[in-house]
Amino acid sequence: MSTYKARLDQVAKFMPRYNGPFLVTHAHPTTSTYTLDLPNKPNCFPTFHTSQLLQFSPNNDVFYLSCTLPHPGPVLTAEGQEEWHIHNIVDQRVHGWGMQYLMHWKGWGDEENCRQELADTEALDCWLEQNQD
């Protein structure tokens, strides 16, 4: 991985800029290029050489507090109850007479995962379909 050292006589608009992260849809090892999923750039050619790409590294919230993205909040139902979006279910365990599921919340980190009993959710339907005994 190379680092870029800025010189004093350079103008900021001509310096390299990295946007993203973007999902890699296809790798071309013979030509050292990657095709990216660019959802908001329909007129941009999506294949780039490896010299133009950097591996994504997430923000370190300890050092850069001003760059921390807000976590998504709950959705209010018609009855006034709060509901949260489940990204996926990670694990399950027997708890009492029922099951508890370890859930990964959409837009939150792994440290916020929690175990709860679930019923009648799309994430639970997907989990049960994938983990049929």
> pLDDT by residue (tens digit) across 33-63?
999 888 777 788 889 999 889 888 777 777 7
Cβ atoms 90, 104 nearer than 8 A: yes
State the pLDDT confidence band at 2, using cuts at 50, 70 and 90: very low
Contact predicate 100/89, CB 8 Å: no
| 43: its two tokens | 């007129």
CATH class of 84-130: mainly beta
Rounded Cα–Cα distance for residues 32 and 53 (Å): 11
Domain with CATH 2.40.50.40 in the chain: 84-130
User: Mean pLDDT across the chain, nearest whole number?
Assistant: 79
- C-alpha span between 101 and 97 (Å, rounded): 14
Which residue has better confidence, 3 or 67?
Answer: 67
